[in-house]
Amino acid sequence: MASLFDPITIGDVTLKNRVVMAPLTRNRSPKAVPNTLNATYYEQRASAGLLITEATAITQQGQGYADVPGLYTPEALEGWRKVTDAVHKAGGKIVVQMWHVGRISYTSLQPNGGQPVAPSAIRAKSKTYLVNGDGTGSFAETSEPRALELAEIAGIVEDYRKAARAAIDVGFDGVEIHAANGYLIDQFLRSSSNKRTDAYGGSIENRARFLFEVVDVITKEIGAGRVGIRISPVTPSNDAFDPEPQALFTYVVEKLARYQLAYIHVVEGATGGARDHQQGDRPFDYAGLRAAYAAVGGKAAWMANNGYDRDLAARTVESGEADLVAFGKPFIANPDLVRRLKDGAPLNAPDQTTFYGGGAKGYTDYPLLEQVA
Ligand SMILES: C=C(C(=O)O)c1ccccc1
């Protein structure tokens, strides 16, 4: 029976424990360039079995929020090298979450102030984070997107390939494809945001086509053993909706089984919200999803996320229901979360007012266990 604190090998990467830092957007990389403060933040949390970076834009078109990092300029890649070096020196492992926001963006963030792109010209009922002229941050309604021309899609797939290659070249141990939370790949998957009538819309197979073109190029470029993927079958984040999530995501995982990825990361319920959130006419069956994946030969590690506490995480791994558990907010406030979970020690409470934007306050200044009186 495995424990949360046992090592595990996922694909080509061996982890010292099964406690994962989930991707957490913090909006602290001005000009999309990771900086030394970011390096310190990740280094502080390197006792995690695996760090997944905050969502990282593969191009400017894929950028949807102010001050999130990118993977598409020389300066950003140099910045990420500082992060991977610092994490590796501290004995950690780190993968980068590769992100294209699609319609969850704002014209001022887009190349030439243009419209964000999406499978269809359907505006999301969602907001994005902008930085004002005086340096303060605020949330704004996302802009009206334009539908991608069929001829543009191959170019975005190539952007993913380039970004994956760059990620490995700057020292990441692998990549996580962000296919969750109502961003571009998820916008193609969900029928509420994809009304295309070409080969990328309509049937589940067609709506998943873009996802598998991305998985194809990335696994060919860097090897499937360094590739994870995040999905969120029923999250309502960013206005995501599909009435038949079980059928949709069963198709997705059964096809993913062919790739022997390093891991599959599943957000259970509403991202950052209710674990029992439901879309469609019945509760989502996560165990059934994993069983469907395994039944067709899928062997990737299974990573569970959303609202886990120590006891639930321990039980979930000990029972074999998941191989790893990803923690979000607890890692914001507890750089030494692994030790605290292992010792059953109290956790620092996260300060929600400093989640997004700013500097060291609420980012790198949370106390370690030994610093708490
Ligand atoms: C990348 C995000 C996600 O995956 O939900 C995100 C973006 C902005 C705020 C919180 C989270």
Report which protein residue has its CA nearest ligand 1's atom 5: 181
Distance 192 CA to ligand 1 centre (A): 20
Q: What pLDDT, on the 0 to 100 scale, is given for residue 241?
A: 98
Angle at 59 between CA 176 and CA 257, to 5 degrees: 25
Better-scored residue on pLDDT, 371 or 57: 57
Angle at 178 between CA 152 and CA 200, to 5 degrees: 35
Report which protein residue has its CA nearest ligand 1's atom 6: 25
Q: Is 25 in the pocket of ligand 1 (CB under 6 A)?
A: yes
Give the nearest ligand 1 atom to 178 CA.
Answer: 4
Q: Has residue 2 got a pLDDT over 70?
A: yes
Q: What pLDDT, on the 0 to 100 scale, is given for residue 373?
A: 63
Report which protein residue has its CA nearest ligand 1's atom 11: 25
Of the chain, the percentage scoring pLDDT greater than 70 comes to 100
Q: Is 98 in the pocket of ligand 1 (CB under 6 A)?
A: no
Distance 235 CA to ligand 1 centre (A): 12
Per-residue model confidence as pLDDT tens digits over 110-135: 999 999 999 999 999 999 999 988 88
Is residue 189 within 8 Å of 180, Cβ to Cβ? no
Per-residue model confidence as pLDDT tens digits over 27-81: 999 999 999 999 999 999 999 999 999 999 999 999 999 999 999 999 999 999 9
Distance 65 CA to ligand 1 centre (A): 9
Q: Is 65 in the pocket of ligand 1 (CB under 6 A)?
A: yes
Q: Which residues carry out catalysis?
A: 183
Segment 147-163 shows an average pLDDT of 98
Q: What pLDDT, on the 0 to 100 scale, is given for residue 372?
A: 79
Segment 269-293 shows an average pLDDT of 98
Distance 81 CA to ligand 1 centre (A): 23
Q: What pLDDT, on the 0 to 100 scale, is given for residue 1?
A: 87
Per-residue model confidence as pLDDT tens digits over 351-367: 999 999 999 999 999 99
Amino acid type, 113:
G
Segment 315-325 shows an average pLDDT of 98
Three state DSSP letters for the chain? CCCCCCCEEECCEEECCCEEECCCCCCCCHHHCCCHHHHHHHHHCCCCCEEEEEEEECCCCCCCCCCCCECCCHHHHHHHHHHHHHHHHCCCCEEEEEECCCCCCCHHHCHHHCCCEECCCCCCCCEEEEECCCCCEEEEECCCCEECCHHHHHHHHHHHHHHHHHHHHCCCCEEEEECCCCCHHHHHHCCCCCCCCCCCCCCHHHHCHHHHHHHHHHHHHHCHHHEEEEECCCCCHHHCCCCCHHHHHHHHHHHHHHHCCCEEEEECCCCCCCCCCCCCCCCCCHHHHHHHHHHCCCCCEEEEECCCCHHHHHHHHHCCCCCEEEECHHHHHCCCHHHHHHHCCCCCCCCHHHCCCCCCCCCCCCCCHHHCC
Segment 225-241 shows an average pLDDT of 98
Is residue 46 within 8 Å of 92, Cβ to Cβ? yes
Segment 267-271 shows an average pLDDT of 98
Distance 2 CA to ligand 1 centre (A): 31
Report which protein residue has its CA nearest ligand 1's atom 7: 25
pLDDT, the chain, mean: 98
Per-residue model confidence as pLDDT tens digits over 172-183: 999 999 999 999
Q: Is 237 in the pocket of ligand 1 (CB under 6 A)?
A: yes
Report which protein residue has its CA nearest ligand 1's atom 4: 181
Is residue 264 within 8 Å of 215, Cβ to Cβ? no
Q: Who's near 168: CB < 8 A, 6+ residues apart?
A: 174, 175, 222, 226
pTM (2 d.p.)? 0.98
In this prediction the ipTM stands at: 0.99
